[in-house]
């Protein structure tokens, strides 16, 4: 009697597809809801809420990629790059700067807009602007870095979308906390 070896879970078409839909769609919903709920909360609360769903989706994507490589399965269709393209589009168009600070080129002007031109304000605004930019660029780099995984993992291709949402919302959160800290109207 020969023993049939079963394929890993995420390499099976139905199981891998359903898992991918649940993980990615769930991550997108949690990212959007989490961004709305943590809008004015501290970074200690907002960061885990915004990073965790994207990290879980990324973990499933990497797991599927490893399983697909282990069984030498055929590459996925090229159209799955549409997930990464949607993520890059989201990354570019998602607003990461509150509207009141959109036309502000540097920390000095931001402190003027916030009606607080003190050295403490300059330091806080400079730090928030830097943190926001770094987070935004790291998000874009992560989306690009995941492109090689797309040929073997459908989940990794589509997991870039919650990564884009989470990274952009986290980048925006640094600047939104400035408005909250200085009790700016509309924060």
Tokens describing residue 89 = 């589009």
Residue 3 lies in a domain: no
Residue 6 lies in a domain: no
Residue 81 lies in a domain: yes
CA 119 to chain CA centroid, Å, is 32
Range list of β-strands (E), 124-166: none
pLDDT attached to residue 18: 95
Instruction: Give me the phi and psi of 184, to 5 degrees please.
Output: -75, 135
pLDDT for 119-165, tens place per residue?
A: 888 999 999 999 999 999 999 999 999 999 998 999 999 999 999 99
Question: Would you say residue 52 has pLDDT above 90?
Answer: yes
Residue 63 lies in a domain: yes
**In the chain, % of residues over pLDDT 70:** 96
- Domain containing 167 equals 12-181
Residue 7 lies in a domain: no
* pTM, entire model: 0.91
The mean pLDDT of the chain is 91
The domain tally of the chain equals 1
Least confident of 1-5, 21-25, 175-179, 180-184: 1-5
Greater confidence, 84 or 74? Answer: 84
Residue 168 pLDDT grade (very low, low, confident, very high; cuts 50, 70, 90): very high
Greater confidence, 21 or 183? Answer: 21
pLDDT attached to residue 96: 92
pLDDT attached to residue 186: 58
pLDDT attached to residue 155: 95
How many CB atoms lie under 10 A from the CB of residue 91?
Answer: 24
Least confident of 52-56, 62-66, 161-165, 178-182: 178-182
Instruction: Give me the phi and psi of 115, to 5 degrees please.
Output: 60, 35
């Amino acid at each position: 009697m020969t023993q049939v070896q079963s394929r890993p879970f995420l390499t099976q078409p139905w199981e891998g597809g359903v898992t991918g839909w649940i993980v990615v769609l769930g991550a997108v919903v949690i990212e959007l809801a989490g961004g709305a709920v943590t809008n004015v909360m501290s970074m200690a609360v907002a960061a885990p809420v915004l990073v965790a769903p994207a990290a879980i989706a990324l973990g499933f994507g990497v797991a599927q990629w490893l399983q697909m490589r282990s069984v030498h399965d055929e590459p996925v269709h090229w159209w799955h790059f549409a997930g990464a393209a949607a993520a890059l589009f989201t990354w570019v168009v998602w607003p990461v700067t509150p509207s009141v600070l959109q036309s502000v080129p540097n920390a000095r002007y931001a402190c003027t807009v916030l009606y607080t031109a003190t050295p403490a304000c300059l330091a806080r605004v400079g730090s928030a602007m830097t943190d926001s930019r770094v987070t935004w660029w790291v998000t874009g780099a992560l989306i690009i870095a995941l492109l090689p995984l797309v040929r073997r993992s459908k989940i990794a291709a589509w997991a870039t979308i919650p990564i884009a949402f989470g990274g952009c919302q986290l980048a925006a959160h640094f600047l939104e906390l400035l408005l909250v800290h200085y009790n700016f109207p509309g924060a």
